[in-house]
Amino acid sequence: MRVLFIGDIMGRPGRTAAASEIPKLRDEYGGFDFVIANGENSAGGFGLTEKVMNELFGAGIDILTNGNHVWDKKDFVPLLDSEKRLLRPANHPAGTCGRGHAVYEKNGEKLAVLCLQGRTFMPPLDCPFRTADKIISECPVPAVFVDIHAEATSEKRALALYLDGRASAVIGTHTHVQTADEEILPGGTAFLSDAGMTGGHAGVIGMTADSVLPKFLLGTPCKFEVCEENVKFQGAVVEIDSETGRSLNVERVNRSVIKNH
């Protein structure tokens, strides 16, 4: 099966880029069995709304993973229970609303998707390694795709090596900076430290420079504004053997999106 994973979608520019580029990539790659995107920054850079969620599903995204910002829009949180195509980090404690993993079926293919959040320089959660152990050991299908939403590249790589041969892919999100370390690990797990960001790259990780600089210069609170310039679509395409769950290829996607005037 072929999976397109889209790095953190940032605000309206990111949503527009996703809607523009997904059809083009489908044509170029001969179609995708599943399209997954990290959506936690899709609504104004912080969280999701129902309207934005439906816009992303309408653009051809099948599953939305998330991270620490999924809780930012309080009115949206109840949808985590009712919408099966939404995932929040699975290593939240028992009793947290929503789900952290699920098995999806499309085009005759079955794929388990698991969302995890790191603990290094991040809010404290349960151990992502042991959470992955439990979920993967009980998974009914061989193909397992993991989004590890974490700050530290060391934690992401450690998780990938730990899950090598058990997960089909371990792809990182959260830093909004695409890394160039894609590979197939010895056990058949595709790895990329960070898929990058789909949105405006002219500022600071998706926000305008003018809105971010006062925080660093003055140490005072400031309102961040979504950057709309130098928009890029970033992510990865992973090919997985459906029967064994081993990845056959991983390829970064990094393309500039030209505005239509």
Q: What residues act catalytically? A: 69
CB 6 within 8 A of CB 18: yes
Exposure of 142 by Cβ count < 10 A (0-12 exposed, 13-18 middle, 19+ buried)? Answer: middle
DSSP, collapsed to helix, strand or coil, labels residue 11 as helix
Alpha-carbon distance values, 200 to 148, 236, 246 (Å): 22, 18, 34
CB 191 within 8 A of CB 183: yes
Query: Can you read off the two tokens belonging to residue 23?
Result: 């059809």
Strands 231-240 and 2-6, by their bridges, are antiparallel
Alpha-carbon distance values, 150 to 106, 118, 224, 242 (Å): 28, 4, 21, 27
| CA nearest neighbour of 34 among 171, 181, 174 | 171
